[in-house]
A and B are shown apart, each in its own frame.
Chain A
């Protein structure tokens, strides 16, 4: 099998194209720019369309238009760009138009800097923009998963008529790793609800305004019902060494990679630690965490933010087990040793 060394951001574009992406609209921003670069190069060569938008407000509305027109459409950006997209993200959810939005997280707030952080979690996972809405949030932790997530994103988005987010970070975007590309080219299907500029689709309408209270209430209930269905159907996570675990790391993205190294080191020292890595952040693997709460003595939520994902972990375990937060901000990345020492100390303290 052929493997290619490529950056996470490049792998993502390869995966999207093989997943049937037809259109890319976006505005460059570090550390997501390689996505736009690769898309500008590869989309036209593959007979697809690329356009650099004047700003992220326009990018996201281009997604709205292209999705309504039946395209498989995507954009890539980072925190400051996502903030500008908030309005459009809400409209996309309101009108139930499927698309792919990639956030390669950088350190914030404000302009922050281009180092990795995971502080867009609340914003993306709990509904970017106004109103009660959300999208499916995938959390890759390798270049291979950047490819795989993008590859399946459009089918997921269309299945639920929802936005699929890929919530990556500067390191997962920049890391080069061997990537095996999917061997099947997915095709954009015809959608009965889309606007094709023809007689058959003339009666179609995309809107998010409802003048009657009962209709808007019903629309909201319908969206929430859809989100519940996602939780039944597509929660995804990876478990490492959980069978006999007394301690549990909960981490995603780059942090899960570092925790994985720490886990191996700790296991070597006889500490019974496992890891649950959410691969979908929305829907969140709450049920599995609740089950593990009856098994482990302590959960450690590790993340590059003031503590955002940790709240979902605590909500999931509902006080049944203590959840400690290991966190770093402003672009600081923990070393494997740092996590090992901290957890080992905690474990030793509890044994004593």
Chain B
């Protein structure tokens, strides 16, 4: 048997100093259900011995000042957002007892998304949803739970389903989800029902202490002032008009949640040494630093998506770093990538690099004909163009730049991997420009290619590039 305490719960302040010095009376109206709900929650906190561990999320609405009363950790949240706030706090403190206390405008109106997703994640939280079918603090407007025909200041002729829709049964929505462990609707209409509410509130909190998961209690609560009734009339109306629309009772009570709460899967503490390892702090890169650039390299590599254009660019930039040079890599972007040609701009310099955008390359590597057509004219006079002549089967028309026609795709197919064409062209570029050394290329490639057979192919592609250069560039 449960006994009812007649003194104020320990987890309520003795005087409400946050309201006003020495205040002993709450700001709630006579006959309001919030006071009852507050007392039931405070008693449960006392009985479970969780006052120090409790963090109470106040909503927007009449209970915005719940922190006047609850002697626990307190946070006031933006309208409707408390379930998101609470979800995050849960992920910071696994042993805190986090309560979100929300009204019908807050939870069922503006915050419907937050409550549904927190419930769906099965957050180990306790939600108390005060449903009084009207907006209290704002002055008696329609709530999502206002019943059909109910008069409010924004439905002066009564709520019409055809215009404002039907009242929302939130407990039913929450119970439609897999994750919640406890969903119950209770009423504050009379003493017997208050006792049932008390039991549900306790259960919902005990579940959290036991880390069972998401518990939700919808509390049908009177609002005599905005209903324009006496407190006694209000409780009667609650019973006769709200309860038929929102049937009280338990909708879900699982002995165990459908999954282990996150708290139990929390990753172990990770050492500083391990974090440095994961992030690559202190990792030494190969560093030869022997290259002297004749001029800053502004390279553009272009081709079909899937030809390894972007990754060839990354390889080049990584080699530049290994040479102790500054570098930038910037991909072509968005729609142009889907249009057939992908390209990346790479700058390599002894100095710091200003614009990373390569508009006028002094080295253009083109993997296909559309790229040759698109970018030939952009090459700076005196520059070089490296053409994959397997796919771009035309001579260049410019006479002020030097072309290198490398049948890279055919050579790559002969090696057994067409995706190596980019590495062959890159090798020729390296030998012609002197911007990176072959040794560096051979050293860096294994860092980006983990699969052994592909690595071998790529190393052979470098050899093929060297051979082509030896035979054609003397």
Give A85-111 interface residues, CB cut-off 8 Å to B: 87-88, 91, 95
- State in angstroms the CA–CA spacing of A287 and B275 once bound together: 41
In the assembled complex, which residues on chain A have CB atoms less than 8 Å from the CB atom of B18?
205
In the assembled complex, which residues on chain B have CB atoms less than 8 Å from the CB atom of A259?
354
Q: Judging by beta carbons under 8 Å apart, are A65 and B87 in contact? A: yes
Please tell me which one of the listed residues A45, A174, A201, A264 contacts residue B73 in the complex, with CB atoms under 8 A apart: A201
Shortest B224–chain A CB gap in Å is 23
In the assembled complex, which residues on chain A have CB atoms less than 8 Å from the CB atom of B328?
175-177
Of the stretches B90-98, B215-223, B234-242, B453-461, the one at the interface is B90-98
B334 contacts the other chain (CB 8 A): yes
Please tell me which one of the listed residues A2, A197, A263 contacts residue B283 in the complex, with CB atoms under 8 A apart: A2
- State in angstroms the CA–CA spacing of A66 and B98 once bound together: 12
- Encode contact with B along A1-41: 1 for CB under 8 Å, 0 otherwise: 01111000000001001100011010000000000000000
Known contacts A25-B88, A197-B53, A202 near B72 by CB under 8 Å? yes
- Encode contact with A along B58-92: 1 for CB under 8 Å, 0 otherwise: 10000011010001111111100100111111011
Please tell me which one of the listed residues B55, B58, B276, B283 contacts residue A4 in the complex, with CB atoms under 8 A apart: B283
Please tell me which one of the listed residues B54, B74, B88, B354 contacts residue A61 in the complex, with CB atoms under 8 A apart: B88
Shortest A105–chain B CB gap in Å is 14
Please tell me which one of the listed residues A53, A70, A207 contacts residue B76 in the complex, with CB atoms under 8 A apart: A207
Shortest A102–chain B CB gap in Å is 17
Known contacts A2-B285, A47-B270, A114-B333, A333 near B81 by CB under 8 Å? no
- Encode contact with B along A272-304: 1 for CB under 8 Å, 0 otherwise: 000000000000000000000000000000000
Give A234-255 interface residues, CB cut-off 8 Å to B: 254
In the assembled complex, which residues on chain B have CB atoms less than 8 Å from the CB atom of A335?
357, 359
Number of interface residues of B (CB under 8 A): 70
Q: Judging by beta carbons under 8 Å apart, are B75 and A207 in contact? A: yes
B113 contacts the other chain (CB 8 A): yes
Q: Judging by beta carbons under 8 Å apart, are B317 and A260 in contact? A: no
- State in angstroms the CA–CA spacing of A45 and B280 once bound together: 13
Q: Judging by beta carbons under 8 Å apart, are A197 and B279 in contact? A: no
A122 contacts the other chain (CB 8 A): no
- State in angstroms the CA–CA spacing of A182 and B78 once bound together: 36
A343 contacts the other chain (CB 8 A): no
In the assembled complex, which residues on chain A have CB atoms less than 8 Å from the CB atom of B73?
195-197, 201-202, 204-205
Q: Judging by beta carbons under 8 Å apart, are B357 and A258 in contact? A: yes
Q: Judging by beta carbons under 8 Å apart, are A61 and B91 in contact? A: no
B284 contacts the other chain (CB 8 A): yes
- Encode contact with B along A301-334: 1 for CB under 8 Å, 0 otherwise: 0000000000000000000000000000000010
Q: Judging by beta carbons under 8 Å apart, are B84 and A53 in contact? A: yes
B382 contacts the other chain (CB 8 A): no
**Most chain B CB neighbours (cut-off 10 Å) among A65, A87, A114, A174:** A65
List the 6 closest A-B pairs by CB distance, nearest first.
A197-B96, A261-B354, A65-B85, A47-B270, A65-B88, A62-B88
A176-B329, A185-B275 given; name 16 further pairs at CB < 8 Å.
A46-B278, A49-B91, A54-B114, A57-B81, A59-B84, A69-B55, A95-B76, A171-B356, A176-B328, A177-B356, A178-B327, A183-B281, A205-B73, A258-B354, A336-B355, A337-B360
